[in-house]
Chain A
């Protein structure tokens, strides 16, 4: 099942349960997977703002000030960098309860290319006070997270890969918005990963294990506030760290981990977008072009261990 289908299904349930849950769109409901919900909710709980994301963000803040629980959605760059001031002032500074869903993060915008690729969204929003930043890793986690996010009274940015992702978690998964999930126990290297690259990291860890390198792998679904306790405990245990993200190595997960470990003098290497813009292409090409591959994860993991 595609991530957007799970997202829409969860929203449907939340809207059904609570008339104050509303969804605003900026002409991308088809891409976001929520167009089907319109039969049930259009004009009562769902509103299309047209191609006017700035207005959408502040409209959501106004609805929140009136006691509603608005969700807004768009492609990631338009849900973040384009409306940065509206998020900062109408929503965060005014302490409004708005959920921001950005779809197609980083290179996953594929054929829409560089204009539609956000390599900086986490960095931009992470430096604004009071915004929780969440990036789901699979459908199991997203399903568990949706009611928690909706119930959280404040601004959350949800960085949503909208197509299918392989399941990392199984039945019985217990979600905590503020706790990272350990995926693999290891001694030699901590790997912190968010979002769509998690499966690649697990494959890399498997390959490294065959070479006698044992990895402590964590899925960091919430990049702000980052689970400092888990990051510090794992890094101290292994003595070397690798971060892996579909985002610029400046400002995102790597920065969050570096800031957390700044006093520990533990080496941190990062696999991510190396301060460049995106380009058009399918995911396999883009992964190669930007170094977001299993092979590069393995190579950089070994470099990180050498720094111990």
Chain B
């Protein structure tokens, strides 16, 4: 299974590069940093059915850092929610795959996100809903490290712990970069784990959030052991923005939203596939 997940992650990473390269520009860095998480969630952990995307009692995923939409779409397409060909319509006029996640346009998207901080609260609202329904669903949500500067994140963090939502598993894509520079330069959020603990969450840190095995064991642990006794779980993934393509990684903060030609994407995909 591990090798399978690894190769699925590679497919998703290649599809992200291909669709952003086809368009010529996009939020590459923060898409490539979360591929392993999305792979583990959608291909192993979440209780979902691509043939019945609105299935009652399903687990949900809210990508609060909505600009990682292309990575979610590539994951959904690989999981069979829609045809992979549709990925090439990314961000074109009239597309069902806009830059930021839109539940009313894309099959399999559980919540509209893009205005940072809000998706996290929406996910918590869904977790409260799942508790009230008693349907056993778990809510997974992903926030960015830059997004963690939003005050609403901490309003929501307080609420989730106060309301004892132990069906909620959150992730931080801690790649340490945001548009204007490093997170610590711009408006530091460290010590991040301490902050979440202080807000009443169980916290787990993953040293390499782009290592499929580390992510896999952390997600299962968060799901099985860290969401109980009324506490939600925060899994902090130490990731690399732009992970998988050396020159994109090297752009640093510049890779948040950057140009990528179809040729550059093709070269990167060949390298990833070991065909270069």
Contacts from A to B (Cβ < 8 Å): 19, 22, 44, 47, 49-50, 52, 54-55, 57-68, 85-86, 88-90, 93-95
Task: Answer whether residue B23 sits at the interface, using C-beta atoms and an 8 A cutoff.
Answer: no
Whole-angstrom distance between the alpha carbons of A66 and B209 in the complex?
30
Give the number of chain B interface residues (Cβ < 8 Å): 33
User: Across the two chains, which residue of chain A brings its CB closest to B156?
Assistant: A55
Q: Are A59 and B121 neighbours in the complex by a CB distance under 8 Å?
A: yes
Residues of A within 8 A of B112 (CB): 89-90, 93-94
Distance in angstroms from B38 CB to nearest chain A CB is 20
* Neighbour of A55 across the interface among B110, B121, B129, CB < 8 A: B121
Whole-angstrom distance between the alpha carbons of A243 and B92 in the complex?
45
Q: Are B152 and A58 neighbours in the complex by a CB distance under 8 Å?
A: yes
Main secondary structure of the interface of B (DSSP, over half): helix
Q: Are A62 and B132 neighbours in the complex by a CB distance under 8 Å?
A: no
Distance in angstroms from B106 CB to nearest chain A CB is 12
18 A-B pairs (CB sep. < 8 Å): A47-B128, A49-B155, A54-B155, A55-B156, A58-B125, A58-B156, A59-B124, A62-B123, A63-B126, A63-B128, A66-B126, A66-B129, A66-B130, A68-B129, A93-B112, A94-B104, A94-B111, A95-B104
Q: Are B128 and A59 neighbours in the complex by a CB distance under 8 Å?
A: yes
Contact A85:B126 (CB < 8 A) given known A44-B132, A55-B156, A55-B159: no
Residues of B within 8 A of A68 (CB): 129, 132
Contact A65:B111 (CB < 8 A) given known A54-B121, A86-B118, A89-B118: yes
Contacts from B to A (Cβ < 8 Å): 62, 102-104, 110-112, 114-115, 117-130, 132-133, 151-152, 155-156, 158-159, 162-163
Residues of A within 8 A of B156 (CB): 55, 58-59
* Neighbour of B133 across the interface among A50, A61, A66, CB < 8 A: A66
Residues of B within 8 A of A89 (CB): 112, 114-115, 118
Q: Are A62 and B125 neighbours in the complex by a CB distance under 8 Å?
A: yes
Whole-angstrom distance between the alpha carbons of A135 and B151 in the complex?
31
User: Across the two chains, which residue of chain B brings its CB closest to A59?
Assistant: B125
Distance in angstroms from A41 CB to nearest chain B CB is 11
Whole-angstrom distance between the alpha carbons of A141 and B130 in the complex?
35
Which of A44, A55, A86 has the most CB atoms of chain B within a 10 A radius of its CB? A55
Whole-angstrom distance between the alpha carbons of A64 and B132 in the complex?
13
* Neighbour of B152 across the interface among A47, A50, A55, CB < 8 A: A55
Residues of B within 8 A of A67 (CB): 129, 133
Residues of B within 8 A of A19 (CB): 132
Q: Are A94 and B115 neighbours in the complex by a CB distance under 8 Å?
A: no
Whole-angstrom distance between the alpha carbons of A283 and B163 in the complex?
39
Distance in angstroms from A302 CB to nearest chain B CB is 48
Whole-angstrom distance between the alpha carbons of A94 and B111 in the complex?
8
Whole-angstrom distance between the alpha carbons of A54 and B153 in the complex?
10
Residues of B within 8 A of A90 (CB): 112, 115, 118, 121-122
Q: Are B159 and A50 neighbours in the complex by a CB distance under 8 Å?
A: yes
User: Across the two chains, which residue of chain A brings its CB closest to B62?
Assistant: A62
Distance in angstroms from A163 CB to nearest chain B CB is 30
Q: Are A66 and B159 neighbours in the complex by a CB distance under 8 Å?
A: no
User: Across the two chains, which residue of chain B brings its CB closest to A60?
Assistant: B125
Residues of A within 8 A of B130 (CB): 66
Residues of B within 8 A of A52 (CB): 155, 158-159
Whole-angstrom distance between the alpha carbons of A94 and B120 in the complex?
14
Q: Are A58 and B126 neighbours in the complex by a CB distance under 8 Å?
A: no
Contact A62:B163 (CB < 8 A) given known A52-B155, A90-B118, A94-B103: no
Contact A62:B158 (CB < 8 A) given known A47-B128, A93-B112, A94-B103: no
Residues of B within 8 A of A64 (CB): 125
Distance in angstroms from A73 CB to nearest chain B CB is 16
User: Across the two chains, which residue of chain A brings its CB closest to B130?
Assistant: A66
Distance in angstroms from B61 CB to nearest chain A CB is 12
Residues of A within 8 A of B103 (CB): 65, 94
Residues of B within 8 A of A22 (CB): 132
* Neighbour of B163 across the interface among A47, A58, A60, CB < 8 A: A47
